[in-house]
Amino acid sequence: MRDLYINRELSLLEFHKRVLAQAQDPDVPLLERLRFLCISCTNLDEFFEIRVAGLKQRMEIGAPAQGPEKRPAEEVFDELRVGISGMVEQQYQLLNKELFPQLADAGVRFVHSDDWTTEQYEWLTRYFNEQVVPVLTPLTFDPSRPFPRILNKSLNFIVRLHGKDAFGRRRHRGMVQAPRSLPRVIPLPDSISKPGEHNFVFLSSIIRVHVESLFPGLDVDGCYQFRVTRNSNLYVDDEEVSDLVRALEGQLKASRYGAAVRIEIGHECPDDLREFLLDHFELSDDDAYMVDGPVNLNRLATVCDLDDRAELLYPPFTQGLPEELRSDKDIFSILDQKNVLLHHPYQSFAPVIDFLGAAATDPNVLAIKQTLYRTGAESPIVDHLVTAARSGKEVTVVIELMARFDEAANISLANRLQEAGAHVVYGLVGFKTHAKMTLVVRRNAGQLVRYMHLGTGNYHHATTSVYTDYGYLSSSKRLGEDVHKLFLQLTSLTRADDMTRMLASPFSLFDALHDKIRRETANAKAGKPARVIAKVNSLNEPQLIDAMYEASQAGVQIDLILRGICSLRPGVKGLSENIHVRSIVGRFLEHSRVYYFLNDGKEEFYCSSADLMYRNMFRRNESCFEIRQKAMKEQIRHDLELFLTDNCQTWILNGDGSYTRLSPGKNERIAAQDTFLENLASPKLVKD
């Protein structure tokens, strides 16, 4: 059984390696390579906080093997450790051997303390005394002064000390915690840099050089940075919780000090201090990563948007608009005539924001309903909802408080909306609301008309510039009826039945997808052409995988475009020879979810908020909507075929779980994301 499936955690780690490969690609602009390196480090942070933390918990309690492959947690952890160690080594080799030297040649320098000029040293000393010392709390510890609590992913320093303190007691160790209020990368002023250069210094270097001044009267014999990653899973009991907001707020506070799952330590740290830290955090050698550089590489992202270094960045572009939105007509008049399909980020997300803005101020709009999963702290979407509520419109917002790592922000926006007079409904505990829907009820010529936006991605205006997604604007009567039923399901918890244009989890989506795959299987067995294409983020639902295996054996051609996790093994003789899996990793994060079925020539196209994961099928509220307009179906078919011919940013999944990157070689270079930029967006003119 285990040979039929790829372990979820191991598959996800392979994705993180593909992101790191973008940082290693010399064809990617230099600062973008640095950005990809930072993203790979942030990805690893979350991987430890959630996936590795879960594995370690299962190991501690002796839980049985999980997942369709049934691999013991210990076995998975050991394999992960090998892969992660190699990845971390590559990260720091890339930074020290390639990116730092090449950036320095381009006039972007990270100045090592050994290379500080006298002027730079004097300026940094003043900076340390004026900006850093006032917020630092150097500590020593003994049996009466225990080791301080360490915040998740915070920057800290273990210090070796000699001598007696002011009270005559010998001190051997101290510690310095760097508050998160302090920037980790400090730009040096132009006055102490060469013309045209950008010079930066790490906060860790400044503290290390000046640490002795923090312990007057004691001798400092070493200062070494370290960073602890903690279990950040949130646990809310479905049966016992009576107030979700209060329970979640308590869990958020506790998660800052969850069980340690990883420690990163400067590679020069002596063995005895390393062992001391491991003992204190109850970690083993397998949980320690000795790094040659700053322990928090993701903070380097602050350098990746230098205004005067356009040549080191991707070329800027202006997001396009579909032709039907280029007129002076208001959005409701346009949607009365035709539906609109948007392809982000190549096409702008502004029409969606404008749609909400128009609804908020239009006197003919009676009600607005919306789901919010991730929106960002400063959201124009929320601003429009607040405006609508304050103007007396009926505003209902379904907010998913359990959106991972956005829980605090969602609690804050829920409070803001409630204060404005909106009806706020929290996602059902145990069934996250992941659907992306907006419904506007408007009086039009004496009739009530439903206008809606459905999407494959979040209502987060910032991520729409880097995530690829589809958005669909419509006033279709039948689709509006389905969206209305789904909102009733979310607010009153009554089941939405008899929908004609939509599918939804946890009730109808799985069965529909499963049946459609089996229908292709039956067509193939009957000698008819049969094909399935799915573009999603992840696939691990075992029943759908088994249905695809059966379809492949019947002769169905299956193409899967999966960015991240894939538990299916493609290309296995006698099992999955007709299944091909590719992952596209490029400038933008592939995020759209699309399902295609040949259906004996009566082609079906669906866009969805749902991936092909067990959780999306059975433990979430998801939306999936059919695309029926001929022109839109042709557009999506063209998009899918372009992804399937990409030979520049594509990785092919092998049957053993590894990936091989395609190269155009002597063939025509085809890069899907570049083609979309050329066809849907406009290059932005940049002044010399």
pLDDT digits (tens, 9 = 90+) for 492-511: 988 888 899 999 999 999 99
Mean per-residue pLDDT, 676-688: 67
Q: What is the pLDDT of residue 250?
A: 46
At residue 256, does pLDDT exceed 80?
no
DSSP secondary structure code for residue 242 in this structure = S
Q: What is the pLDDT of residue 681?
A: 87
At residue 129, does pLDDT exceed 80?
yes
The dihedral sign for the CA sequence 369, 473, 606, 681: negative
Report the alpha-carbon distance of residue 303 to residue 108 in Å, rounded: 9
At residue 244, does pLDDT exceed 60?
no
DSSP secondary structure code for residue 422 in this structure = -
Q: What is the pLDDT of residue 414?
A: 82
In a 10 Å sphere around its CB, with 0-12 CB exposed, 13-18 middle and 19+ buried, how is residue 83 labelled? middle
Report the alpha-carbon distance of residue 165 to residue 173 in Å, rounded: 12
Judge contact between 563 and 589, C-beta under 8 A: yes
Q: Which helix (H) or strand (E) holds 608?
A: strand 604-608
Report the alpha-carbon distance of residue 355 to residue 334 in Å, rounded: 11
- Long-range Cβ pairs for the range 312-315 (8 Å, 24+): 312/29, 312/30, 312/31, 312/32, 312/106, 312/108, 313/29, 313/31, 313/32, 314/29, 314/32, 314/587, 315/683, 315/684, 315/686
As beta bridge partners, residue 260 has 230
> Is omega for the bond preceding 345 within 30 degrees of 0, making it cis?
yes
At residue 340, does pLDDT exceed 50?
yes
Please list, in sequence order, all residues whose beta carbon lies within 8 angstroms of the beta carbon of residue 154, skipping any fewer than 6 positions away: 177, 178, 180, 227, 228
At residue 242, does pLDDT exceed 80?
no
Report percent pLDDT > 70 for the chain. Answer: 94
Q: Which of 572, 530, 526 is nearest to 549 (CA)?
A: 572
**627 compared with 681, residue with greater pLDDT:** 627
Report the alpha-carbon distance of residue 444 to residue 152 in Å, rounded: 53
Pairing of strands 531-536, 432-433: unpaired
Report the alpha-carbon distance of residue 674 to residue 322 in Å, rounded: 18
Report the alpha-carbon distance of residue 64 to residue 240 in Å, rounded: 25
Provide Rg for the chain, Cα atoms.
27
Q: Which helix (H) or strand (E) holds 596?
A: strand 593-597
At residue 685, does pLDDT exceed 50?
no
Mean per-residue pLDDT, 114-125: 95
Report the alpha-carbon distance of residue 503 to residue 515 in Å, rounded: 13
Report the alpha-carbon distance of residue 79 to residue 62 in Å, rounded: 18
Q: What is the pLDDT of residue 2?
A: 60
Q: What is the pLDDT of residue 404?
A: 60
Q: What is the pLDDT of residue 402?
A: 63
Spot the catalytic one: 434, 453, 460, 591: 434
Amino acid identity of 406? D
Report the alpha-carbon distance of residue 480 to residue 350 in Å, rounded: 22
Q: Which of 81, 63, 82 is nearest to 73 (CA)?
A: 63
Q: What is the pLDDT of residue 257?
A: 60
Amino acid identity of 361? T
Q: What is the pLDDT of residue 684?
A: 52
DSSP secondary structure code for residue 601 in this structure = G
> Is omega for the bond preceding 26 within 30 degrees of 0, making it cis?
no
Mean per-residue pLDDT, 112-129: 96
Strand positions, DSSP E, 191-292: 198-202, 219-230, 260-266, 288-291
**555 compared with 237, residue with greater pLDDT:** 555
Judge contact between 334 and 324, C-beta under 8 A: yes
Q: Domains (ranges, CATH) in the chain?
A: 2-312 (3.30.1840.10), 317-498 (3.30.870.10), 505-683 (3.30.870.10)
DSSP secondary structure code for residue 165 in this structure = -
Q: Which of 572, 628, 639 is nearest to 603 (CA)?
A: 628
Report the alpha-carbon distance of residue 633 to residue 639 in Å, rounded: 10
**577 compared with 307, residue with greater pLDDT:** 577
Pairing of strands 557-562, 604-608: unpaired
pLDDT digits (tens, 9 = 90+) for 386-431: 999 999 999 999 988 765 655 667 677 888 889 999 999 887 778 8
Q: Which of 186, 179, 182 is nearest to 200 (CA)?
A: 186
Judge contact between 458 and 375, C-beta under 8 A: yes
pLDDT digits (tens, 9 = 90+) for 3-50: 899 999 999 999 999 999 999 999 999 999 999 999 999 999 999 999
Pairing of strands 467-474, 447-455: antiparallel
234 band by pLDDT with thresholds 50, 70 and 90: low
Q: What is the 3-state secondary structure (H, E, C) of 536-580?
A: ECCECCHHHHHHHHHHHHHCCEEEEEECCCECECCCCCCCCCCEE
Report percent pLDDT > 90 for the chain. Answer: 77
Q: What is the pLDDT of residue 147?
A: 85
Q: Which of 114, 110, 293 is nearest to 209 (CA)?
A: 114
Please list, in sequence order, all residues whose beta carbon lies within 8 angstroms of the beta carbon of residue 382, skipping any fewer than 6 positions away: 372, 375, 413, 416, 417
Judge contact between 589 and 468, C-beta under 8 A: yes
Which range, of 56-70, 227-241, 481-495, 650-664, averages the lowest pLDDT?
227-241
Q: What is the pLDDT of residue 241?
A: 41
- Would you call 434 a catalytic residue per the annotation? yes
Establish how many alpha carbons lie within 13 A of residue 156's alpha carbon, considering only the half-sphere containing its beta carbon.
21
3-state SS, residue 90: helix
As beta bridge partners, residue 187 has 200
Judge contact between 503 and 529, C-beta under 8 A: no
Report the alpha-carbon distance of residue 552 to residue 122 in Å, rounded: 69
3-state SS, residue 178: strand
pLDDT digits (tens, 9 = 90+) for 439-481: 999 999 889 999 999 999 989 888 899 999 999 999 999 999 9
236 band by pLDDT with thresholds 50, 70 and 90: very low
pLDDT digits (tens, 9 = 90+) for 658-668: 999 999 988 89
Judge contact between 664 and 686, C-beta under 8 A: no
As beta bridge partners, residue 594 has 535, 607
DSSP secondary structure code for residue 427 in this structure = P
Q: What is the pLDDT of residue 258?
A: 82
DSSP secondary structure code for residue 153 in this structure = T
Judge contact between 433 and 490, C-beta under 8 A: yes
Average pLDDT of the chain, as a whole number:
91
Q: What is the pLDDT of residue 254?
A: 47
Q: 595 is written with which tokens?
A: 């399902």
Global confidence as pTM: 0.92
Pairing of strands 531-536, 604-608: unpaired
Q: What is the pLDDT of residue 64?
A: 84
Which range, of 181-185, 238-242, 269-273, 365-369, averages the lowest pLDDT?
238-242
Q: What is the pLDDT of residue 514?
A: 98
pLDDT digits (tens, 9 = 90+) for 132-179: 999 998 998 876 678 888 999 999 999 999 888 877 777 788 999 999
Report the alpha-carbon distance of residue 667 to residue 664 in Å, rounded: 5
Report the alpha-carbon distance of residue 344 to residue 159 in Å, rounded: 49
Token pair 């789904």 is found at 486
As beta bridge partners, residue 173 has 160
